[in-house]
Each structure stands twice: as C-alpha cells, then as structure tokens.
Amino acid sequence: MWKTVRLSQDGACPGDLMLQNVNCPRVKLGQELPGIAFRGHLHSLPKLMEVTSSSHASHGNHKENSPFLNSSEAGKGGDYYDRNLALFEEELDIRPKVSSLLGKLVNYTNLTQGVKEHEEAESTDGSKKKVSKSPSMGTLMGVYLPCMQNIFGVILFLRLTWMVGMAGVLQSFLIVLLCCCCTMLTTISMSAIATNGVVPAGGSYFMISRSLGPEFGGAVGLCFYLGTTFAGAMYILGAIEILLTYIVPQAAIFHPSGAHDASSAMLNNMRVYGTVFLILMAVVVFVGVKYVNKFASLFLACVVISILSIYAGAIKSIFDPPEFPICMLGNRTLSRDQFDVCAKTIVKDNITVASKLWELFCHSTNLTTENCDEYFVMNNVSEIAGIPGAASGILKDNLWSNYLEKGEILEKAHHPSVDVAGQKNSLHLYVLSDIATSFMVLVGIFFPSVTGIMAGSNRSGDLKDAQKSIPVGTILAIVTTSLVYFSCVLLFGACIEGVVLRDKYGDAVNKNLVVGTLSWPSPWVIVIGSFFSTCGAGLQSLTGAPRLLQAIAKDNIIPFLWVFGHGKANGEPTWALLLTALIAELGILIASLDMVAPILSMFFLMCYLFVNLACAVQTLLRTPNWRPRFKYYHWALSFLGMSICLALMFISSWYYALVAMLIAGMIYKYIEYQGAEKEWGDGIRGLSLSAARYALLRLEEGPPHTKNWRPQLLVLLKLDEDLHVKYPRLLTFASQLKAGKGLTIIGSVIQGNFLETYGEAQAAEQTIKNMMDIEKVKGFCQVVVANKVREGIAHLIQSCGLGGMKHNTVVLGWPYGWRQSEDPRSWKTFIGTVRCTTAAHLALLVPKNVSFYPSNHERYNEGNIDVWWIVHDGGMLMLLPFLLKQHKVWRKCKMRIFTVAQMDDNSIQMKKDLATFLYQLRIEAEVEVVEMHNSDISAYTYERTLMMEQRSQMLRQMRLTKTEREREAQLVKDRHSIARLESLYSDEEDEGDPVPENIQMTWTKEKCDAEKRNRSSAVGSFRDLISIKPNQSNVRRMHTAVKLNEVIVNRSHDARLVLLNMPGPPKNTDGDENYMEFLEVLTEGLERVLLVRGGGREVITIYS
C-alpha cells in the first residue's frame, strides 16, 4: 500500500509546496528515508515525521498529481497533457495529440486545392495570413437562388412556346419529365458526394476528381468547362436574338437581298453583334467580378418578374384574352409584318380597291386574277384569335405533336381551305418552319434549360453548412423549376393558338415575342426581362468557366494547361478568361441558338453521367470513407440517372454524343499517360482493388491448364555494396521473355537485421524500381532483409506472389568467379537455390554470360536460337524460344532443335517423329538429331576429373586450417575492417564455428604441441593429394559433359543463344563442387547459354 508523506516543519513538504518545484516522493508506510536530494532549499531528511492518507481533506486532486512531475518535465511540456501521455511521448511528432489535430481541423479554410496544398498554404508565414472571413451564406441565398438563376434561362422565353407547338402538350410533358428526372437523380448523387466530407470550393470538378480519380476528374472537369463556355455563347446568342428581333430590329447591319436569304442575313447579324457583346462581357468580367456578383440578384429579379407576368397573363386570358389576331389564307398562316389589313380588298371612298395583300400575291393593284397566285385566288382570307385564352378549349388541339420539315408552311388543321399548289415566289409571305423538327431535336434544344444544378456546389466555399445546404437548396430549386416548366407547358397549350406556338419568331403576331403576347401587363415586361436575364446568365458563365479551368490547371493533372493556372495578382484567371472567350467565340460563329444548345447539352450530360457513376461506384464498393450525411441515395438511382443521361445524349444527337465521348476519352487517356501522379483516394482505385480481389479468388479455384501456362518470373537480383543492380541484363532478359505479359517479380536479399536495415531495403527497392522503368519491365519488386542470404532467397521463393498470382519460374544469375574464390559460400548459395526451386516444383532459368545478352535496343536480323533437347522435362525448352521470338530483338532469329541419339536409337525415325511433334505444337523450327558414339573415356576427361577432385580436396584441407589463417590475418588486419561481401549468392553464414573478432590466446605447453601436430598433419594431407585416384562416377559424368560440350560447340558455336537442359544437383551434398565443375565444362566455349530446368509439369501441349 502506498501513502503520501506528510512532513513536519524541519523537513517540510506541506501541501502548499506541492504546487512548486519540490519533489515530494512517495514512500512505503514506516520506511526510513535516507538523504533525498531536493530541488528546493532542503538537502536531507532525518526521518519520517508523519504519514497521512493521500485523500487528506486539505489536498485537491491536482495537488495529488504533483509527486509524479519533476521540474525539468514541467519546463519541457508546457501543459499537463504531455505528461499524462508519457507512454506516447516518443511518437508525438508523428502521432499528434487529439487536441492538436482538432485544433488544426477547426482552422480549415475552404481552399480550392487538396490536402497537401492546404497544408502548404497553412505553413506559410503567419504575418502574410489574412483574417479569413467565415462563410455565412445560408441555403436560400447560397444555393436555392443561384440554382434558380442558372436553371431558368433563355430557352424558357425563346423556345418553350415553339417546343409546345411542335411536340404538343403531351410530348412536351415527356421532354420536361425526362430532363428533370435526369437532373433530379443527378442531384441526389451529387448530394451524396457533396455531403461525404468537406467539399472544397470548386464544385463538380472537385467532387468527381476526388471520387473517381484524376483521369475521370480531368475529363469531366474539361467537359463541364466546355459546357459552361458554350452556355455563355448560347446566352449571348439569345440576348442578340431578343435585341435584333424584338427590341430594335432596325439595328441589323445585314439585310436580306432577296426573299430567301433572310436567315443568312440574320445569322451574320448574330455573329457581328455576338462578338461585340462577348468582348464587352469579357472586359466586364476582367475588370471586376464583384460587379457581376452584385448584379446577379437583379438579373434573378428580372427572371422572376417575367415568369410572374406569364402567370398573370394566363389568368387574365380566361376572362379577357389579349387582342392578337392572326391572318390566315385558307389554312395557311401569313406573316403579318408585311401588310396591315387582313383582307383581299378594302373599300376606299366607297370604291373597292386591292389591298396590300392583293398586291403582294398578284403583283399589281388591278383587281384582275391573271397573274395572281392560284392558292390566293382559290382560298379566303380570315382572321383568328392568336390567344383564345384558357377558357377557349384550344388545349385539345394542342395536345398532339405537329412536327414540320424545314421550309414547310405553318397550317391550321381542320381550317377550311382548297388544296392547290401556289407560286414559289409567294412563299416568303407565309410563316415557314426554319428547321426540321422531331422529338429528338427538341430534347437537345430544351435540355440546357434544366442545367445549372451545380451552382450551389460551386459556391460550397461560401456556405455556412455546405453539407446541409447543398442537398436541400438544389433539390428545392429543381422541384420549383420543374413545376414552373410543367405549368408553363400546360398554360401555353391551353391559352395560345397552335400556329402561333409553332411560329418561332412571332412573324404571325407582328414580330412580337410569342411568350410576350400572353404576358400581362405588356409584352415588353418579358422582352426586357428576358434580355437582361440572358445577359446576366452570360456574364455568370464567363465568370465561372475560367475559374473552373484555373482549378484544373492548378491541380496540374493536364500538363499543357499549366499556363492557365496563372492570373492577376488577386488570383483572377486572366489567361483562362482569354481562352474561354475564344472558345465562346466559336459558339457565336455557329450563330444559331438551335445548333449551339445540343452541343452544350452533350457536355453537361457527360458531366452528370460521371457524377452518377461516381456515386454508384462508391456505394457499390462500400469504401470505408463513403459515409455521406445525405442518406436518401441508392446505387440503383445513380445507375438510372446514368442511363437517362446516356439515353438523352444519343436521343438529342448521336453524332455529337460520340464526339463528346471521344473528347472525354482522349482527355482521359492523355491524363493517364502524361498527367502528373495524383493520389486522391479515388473510387476507381477501389474498383481496381475489388476487381483484382475477385480475379485472384477466381484464380485460386485450381492450377492453370497447360494451355494457359506461361512463365511467371521471380528474378533474383544481385546488388553491390552501393545498392546498385550488378547485372541489369537479367532485367532486360526478363522483359524480352515476358513482352509485358504475365507476372514478373524482381526479388533481392539484403543481409542484416530488419529493424536496422529497413531504410536500406527501401532504398534498394527504389533502385530496382528505377532500373525496372529503364528496362521497361512491368512487374513488382520485393526486397527481403534476412540474417543469411540463403534464407532470404528461400523466403522469396516460398512467399512471393499472392494466391493464384504466384511465380512458377525462377531466374537466377550464374556465380561468376566461383573457382577463384576461396570462400565456398558463393556457389553453395547457388546450389542451395537450385535445390529450393526443385523442392518447390518451380522451373529454373540460369542465363550464363548474361552481360553478353542483347539490350532492348539491339536487333538480330539473322542468326539462330539453338535448343539442345537432351532430356524432356515439361517442354520448357520448346516454349522459351517461341516466347523470346515474340520480342523485336529476337523476332528474325531462326529456331533449331537438336536432340541426342544413342547407339541403339533409330536416328532417322527420331528426326521424323520430332518434326511431326513440332508440327503438332505449331512451332516452326529446323530439326537435327546428333549421334553420340560410345567412345572410350579419353585421357583428357580423366585428367579433368583428377584436377577437379584434387582441387576440392585441397580446398577442404585449407578449410581445416581456417582458424590458423584467420589468426595470422588478424595480426595484419585492423579488427574493425571485416568487409561486407556484396555477392547475393555468397551466403554469409559460416560453415564452422564463428571466429571471434579479436583472438587472444594464452599459450600453454599442451596447446603448443597440439598446434604443431595440426600443422604437420596438414602438410601430410597436402602430400596425399598427389596420389589421389578419381571417383568412377565422377569420371563418367565428366565424360558426358566433355562429349556433349564438344558436340554443342561444334554445331552451335555461332548461335545467338543456346538453350540446354540443366542437370539437377547431386542428392549427396559432398558432390556440390563437382556439380559446378560439370556445368562449367558443359557450357565451355559458348557465348550465350540459357540453362533450363523444368518444374516437373507439362507446359506445352499439342491440343487446342
């Protein structure tokens, strides 16, 4: 039991001192205290005076903590928190306290860049920081009204009546429903993404790029940018159309020279005025964006007043329809702006005279019909009400569609008329259809009037609570605008005569805007209101688009856009504005509102499609970070939204859809190949992971069929002391063999302790990865740290790969200079690795003289790849040359297959059989059978074997005197200079007992005698070497090696590459050194040799 010490005056440590820097130690009850050093003015304590309980009434808990703290720690931390986290104090720099983390998050400012850039911005000098104004906009001002302003636009005033006239009320409902469903479903997906974490100011581009990755983000960002830019062009064209058609027609510069070129004159006027307007608007945006934002509410007021005037006019038309008579000739609609009286004749001073209409059709003032238009003569002129009003029942006539071809005359169905052909030169007197219409065309033209749903998310940086405001505000805006569109379609169909609805420019109603004829109190309310609202929308587009381009450029995912990331000192995107103006000018040069609308429909639909895709992918993958605050989403809704977007793209214009997809695809591929590496934790990476996992689990279901077998390589690399790759040609060979297909793992072993050499392993891995890039090896890298190199290699062979994606072939370098090395470990590691691969049933490739192998830039235009098929071990020897020939280096080489026939074999039959076998394998190669006669063992063979055995015996004797050599070496070497062997294949384990760094011996008589005996026995054993006799089996093996080598060198001395079977290592480890010698003899005199050892399974088949 522990108690707090309470001390008397002479050795005091009363409660009030506990708050100072005095250490009051805890002691066990009744314990004597020896002299305890105090930081204060007390130096010793004679004895324990009084013991009190720690829960003494006069002490608070904060005082109780005091004995745990000493003054040096108090100075260090500055607050008690650190001391309470003493367990974690060593890691506080990499694992910060929760309070520090929360403190940083509270200071989060809505920057338009990612986390890294945000941190960089935070780390700038504090003196430069401005006091950031806290975002204060609510749902109404921040999201709802901007969305309304962006959604309502030029189409509502200029084209909705025409759409209702052409498509009829029912099909118009369908068009509006399709478009509104598309935007509503997209909004649900967007709300889920926008409420999944803090949304930086930047809207859709940031949402998609951070959800689907930089490639999709860049492609969609640019699509959205182009859509917004073309929207600017469309609004400007709308404003010019209102100006030149309805406000000041006399301002036109180009006038139609004949009756039929009115449209081309109008288009030229649009181009000139559009360009002027664009320049003016660009200047306004350049000079001051703040003015644009200030006037935004004024422009919105214009829109709201205009819409209210439509409703007012519709209500008034029930009991008092406005006077807008339409002049009909038979059932054809006449263009009212060319005459005043709707009659064939008029009475003037009691005399009937020809009217202006008669003059136009008969080309004379006489009331004779000789030169008159036949249709004019046969049909009567009548006047009907342009706006019969909501109570007239006109709705039933306007329910059905009435699509027209270009140049067709607007006719009223069921109106009395005599159907005869009229003169062509009279066509300009009628109201004609200016473009061919269909359901698809109308969808493309109407869709821009529902875009603008991103306006709220674009302002996310200014919102007080973006995660609540964006979904609520945007959905409310869509519901409101959809209701307005549905009600307008109904009102137009119920109040306005069908021929007037189909009259796009109001020719039948004295060049009045058709919506204006319905509005109350005056058509000018709509004309002026729509003009200002379209100008405002154009300014908004020219303000928003450059900012979006600047954000994409600053992200640096599309390198050639970097220049557009710069701007004025205050951050205004000058260069981006210039590019936006140039692209908008292209739209203005098209000059027709009906042609520009489908273009921007495509880009917006593409953008919405990807928003839906992003939401669906994240939901289906169940990414741990996918936790939206907005709960009313589902992947099925996102897929439905995606399908509608795709359908609308192809419905409105299939060729524009293909072009938009091609542009997006090209941008995607460009970013993939050229763009800067960005890691945003995107959903597509998650999709790749899920697909990889699924594929790996499928691969696990069973071993691959022989037809699917391909070498999956594990290349064991040797690194030198500076961690550089010693034989980079091994990688070259691997890349030539794989040609980019299948699995390649590059493995290496670093000797040491993992805890100490982790950094070295990372550096080695980076070096290997760089070398893989240079040699164009597509694969993975794995560096293992192990105490012994041989163990590390065994670990690599066992554990590399994952599931069904494991290596089946090991590529191993040859241990050069093993004969010269006194240390046997260099070749022992090699043989150990051969044994490991055999035990693991893996194939083994040993490229000998790998430095002479060709680089990837060389080309062999002629030459042979020779295969020496001595024993069959799965067909690897056939498959490898075929795979090598797929690579451009070896493509032009011919393949020759040699096999060895013994005395009792029928070599002619063997050659036939082999040719048939190769024919069935579909491998083209020359076939040769080499006969080996049973000749006697030559003296040369005997001598080689003798030399080999003498050498190994001598090395064994030398190893017995190793301790003695070590001791002598110790005298001349500094004890710290034990060099690290750099060879991967020279295992650092000692065969005998480890030799201590510094040998210190006390010489006794017994030890001295023993040492002398050892030396004399060693000398004796060296003498025995001379009288040694070689082992018979070794002589036989050497004979085979020498004979085969003779035959191979004779036939293949000029081959580009020789492949031959690699014999297995002996079961008895005593013969390891001899095995190395046999391999050397077998491959002597050959420049490039690939020793191949099968993995014990068939890898090639004659069956399809």
pLDDT score for 495? 92
Q: What value does the mean pLDDT of the chain take? A: 77
Q: Is the pLDDT of residue 753 over 80?
A: yes
Give the residue with greater pLDDT, 904 vs 520. 520
DSSP 47: S
pTM over 0.85: no
| 969 vs 67, residue with greater confidence | 969
Helix (H, G, I), strand (E, B) or coil at 932: coil
- In the predicted structure, residue 169 carries a pLDDT above the cut 90: yes
More confident position, 263 or 232: 232
pLDDT of residue 176: 95
Q: Is the pLDDT of residue 84 over 70?
A: no
Q: In angstroms, rounded to a whole number, what is the distance separating the alpha carbons of residues 71 and 38?
A: 11
Per-residue tokens: 149: 């302003």
pLDDT at residue 965, as a whole number: 54
Confidence of residue 438 (pLDDT cuts 50, 70, 90): very high
- Comparing 307 with 106, the larger pLDDT belongs to 307
* Nearest-angstrom CA–CA distance, 115 and 99: 19
Encoding tokens for residue 1063? 């014999």
Whether pLDDT at 940 is above 70: no
Q: What is the DSSP string of 460-482?
A: GGGBSSHHHHHHHHHHHHHHHHH
pLDDT band at 763 (very low <50, low <70, confident <90, very high): very high
Residue 7 scores a pLDDT above 80: no
User: Under a CB-based contact definition with an 8 Å cutoff, are residues 345 and 372 in contact?
Assistant: no
**What are the tens digits of pLDDT across the range 854-893?**
888 888 888 889 988 887 776 778 888 888 888 888 888 9
The gap between the terminal CA atoms of the chain, to the nearest Å, is 84
User: Is the pLDDT at 683 greater than 80, yes or no?
Assistant: no
Question: In terms of C-beta density within 10 A (0-12 exposed, 13-18 middle, 19 or more buried), how is residue 455 classed?
Answer: buried
Amino acid at 364: S
Question: pLDDT band at 91, cuts 50/70/90?
Answer: low
Q: For 496-539, what is the HEC assignment?
A: CCHHHHHCCCCHHHCCCCHHHHHCCCCHHHHHHHHHHHHHHHHH
Give the pair of three-digit tokens for residue 542. 């020219």
The answer on pLDDT for 162 being more than 90 is yes
CA nearest to 496, candidates 192, 220, 161: 161
Residue 747 carries which side chain, given as an amino acid letter?
G
What does the alpha-carbon distance between residue 955 and residue 964 come to, in Å, rounded to a whole number? 15
